[in-house]
Copies of this chain bind each other. A is one copy, B any other.
């Protein structure tokens, strides 16, 4: 099993001196760079559902979650470590390909495309399927994009479209309910609508450009939902924010609630000085201004939503780690 993973893993990365097979992997950042490290835990029944998510999509999403954190720091992927806990029937087959083989198909397709070497990991039998991903990235010393750099007066931007993942999950739920658990095809128009949920694209090129050209003052990825992640950014930067609902770039299938609280879009939310020249798109992904940063004022909620009817507080209603 570990042998199978070892032989499928891309082993190439300049910074990876020693990969799978020893007690530890060895990583050596290039001169002038430092390493960014993040972990993300996915558990069946909570972050994915074995009954509705294709294994390839679970593998893709596991890696995408970690890569998205690197993107939000402006870091370039160097190595990944994958810990899998799996029920026996997902990992061991009498014949044919197992769930974990298909999980790894999705995982390695994205790893190859983003030049992410699998440097190690762990595998254990578990009554519940779970995957913990560690991503290590490289970024010029002292120049990573942080959550804490936003200043009052900065403008607020987001990449791509919001709410597509939540809308896709709803469609997946409806489709699988109609099929009553039978496997259903993901193709044609469905595939387009499901893609933001099943195969989100981490915004690595966009994060790197913001970092390299020092365009952003702060950044975070939208993993828990705009309302929640913007609250995190405001808290770390000690500022407040105003979001204009009329100019939010919503996915065509998304409701306003999906766009504000949906989560798992893995777009980048960032702030920039009003003097910064922010491009309209980076590597084919649109960049949209959605609001502005303000000083904290006592008695005013940290995030306000501007609508046609006026201003209202935007409470963090995205993903909670203990719901």
Contact surface of A with B, Cβ cutoff 8 Å: 1-2, 17-18, 21-29, 34-41, 43, 45-47, 69-70, 72-73, 75, 79, 81, 83-85, 88, 91-92, 119-128, 130, 132, 134-137, 139, 141-142, 144, 146-148, 219-221, 236, 321-323
The answer to whether B125 and A39 have CB atoms under 8 Å apart is no
The chain B residue with its CB closest to the CB of A68 is B23
Q: How far is the CB of A217 from chain B (nearest CB, A)?
A: 14
Do B147 and A41 have beta carbons less than 8 Å apart? no
Residues of B within 8 Å of A123, CB to CB, are 41, 321-322
A70 touches B36 (CB 8 A): no
Minimum distance in angstroms from A272 CB to a CB of chain B: 17
| B69 close to A21 (CB less than 8 A) | no
Residue of B whose beta carbon sits closest to that of A65 = B122
Q: Tell me how far the C-beta of A78 lies from the nearest C-beta in chain B, rounded to whole angstroms.
A: 10
Residues in B whose Cβ lies below 8 Å from that of A219? 23
Q: Which residue of B24, B37, B72 is within 8 Å of A137 (Cβ)?
A: B24
Chain A contact residues, majority secondary structure: strand
Q: How far is the CA of A85 from the CA of B25 in the complex (A)?
A: 25
Name 5 interchain pairs, CB-CB below 8 A, sorted by A. A24-B135, A26-B73, A27-B36, A41-B132, A127-B127
Q: A2-B321, A29-B29, A81-B134 are in contact. Are A23 and B125 (CB under 8 A)?
A: no
| Residues of B contacting A26 in the complex (Cβ-Cβ under 8 angstroms) | 34-37, 73, 139, 144
Partner of A23, one of B17, B120, B220: B220
Given B45, B120, B135, which contacts A127 in the complex, CB threshold below 8 Å?
A: B45
- A34 to chain B: closest CB distance in Å? 4
- B124–A24 touching, CB < 8 Å: no
Instruction: Tell me how far the C-beta of A198 lies from the nearest C-beta in chain B, rounded to whole angstroms.
Output: 20
Cα-based distance from A134 to B2 in the complex (angstroms): 18
Known pairs A24-B73, A321-B123; A132 contacts B83 (CB<8 A)? yes
* A24-B75, A236-B22 known; A37+B120 contact, CB < 8 A: yes
Contact partners of A136 in chain B: CB under 8 A = 37
A24's partner among B38, B236, B321, B323 (CB-CB below 8 A) is B38
Provide the residues of chain B in CB contact with A23, threshold 8 Å.
Answer: 36, 38, 69-70, 72-73, 147, 219-221
**A141 to B136 Cα, complex, angstroms:** 18
A121-B35 in contact given A85-B130, A134-B81 (Cβ < 8 Å)? no
User: Smallest CB-CB separation from A139: which chain B residue?
Assistant: B26
Cβ–Cβ contact B81 & A37, under 8 A: yes
Known: A72-B23, A141-B28, A321-B1. A39 touches B128 (CB 8 A): no
A202 to chain B, nearest CB (A): 11
- Please tell me if the beta carbons of A39 and B122 are within 8 angstroms of each other in the complex: yes
Residues A24 and B43 in contact, CB atoms below 8 Å apart: no
Answer whether A322 and B125 are a contact pair too, CB < 8 Å, given A23-B221, A24-B73: yes
